[in-house]
Structure 1
Amino acid sequence: MSIDSSLLKNYTRSQLALRNGSDREEIWCAYQGIIYDVSASRLWRNGKHYEHWAGQDLTAELVDAPHADWVFTRFPAVGRLV
């Protein structure tokens, strides 16, 4: 995945946490410092995807997922986690 993160807006962990699918319509999660909008995915309804929750950095959790990081290429990058 090649994303020019310098073009993305910076968000803190607190700001990311607000996009958890329950407080706002946006459902976002971060992976390797990039924040992705997963709102369009039916698998992320209500901000939960199996045992994973939106609004947080999922980098460490991807190790246990049945897929690799290619899954994030399906979603638009909306920010950079700082």
Structure 2
Amino acid sequence: MKTYTRQQLALRNGQDKPEIWIAYRGVIYDVSSSRLWKNGTHYEHWAGQDLTEELVDAPHTEKVFEKFQAIGQLA
């Protein structure tokens, strides 16, 4: 898997580039196809970030990431 920096991840926020990416536990997922991430936001969360610490407050488990393609690793 390709490795991306936090700066490269931040550009995939749904506004600077068409891709919408998020990271969880060092893995970067492409959530561009999700209607829940339209425009790079998902409730109070923003794309282009590592959301590992925020999952504890989510109403779902990490299994939600199984729906999305892992496209890289966070450096």
Query: TM over 0.5, yes or no?
Result: yes
* Cα RMSD, aligned residues only: 0.3
What is the aligned length?
75
**Given the two structures, how large is their TM-score scaled by the length of structure 2?**
0.99
CA distance in 1, matches of 2:52, 2:61: 11
Q: In structure 2, what is the equivalent of residue 26 of structure 1?
A: 19
Unaligned runs of 5+ in 2: none
Unpaired segments ≥5 residues, structure 1 = 1-7
Show CA shifts across 1:28-63 (max 9, x none).
000000000000000000000000000000000000
Q: Which amino acid aligns with 2:71?
A: V
Identity of aligned residues (%): 71
Match of 1:14 among 7, 23, 41: 7
Matched, 1:68 2:61: yes
What stretches of structure 1 move > 2 A for 4+ residues in a row?
Answer: none
Q: How far does residue 66 in structure 1 lie from its aligned partner after superposition? A: 0.2
Q: Secondary structure at the match of 1:56?
A: coil
Tell me the alpha carbon deviations over residues 5-32 of structure 1, each in whole angstroms, 9 at most, x when there is no partner: xxx1000000000000001110000000
State which structure, 1 or 2, has the greater radius of gyration over its C-alpha atoms.
Answer: 1
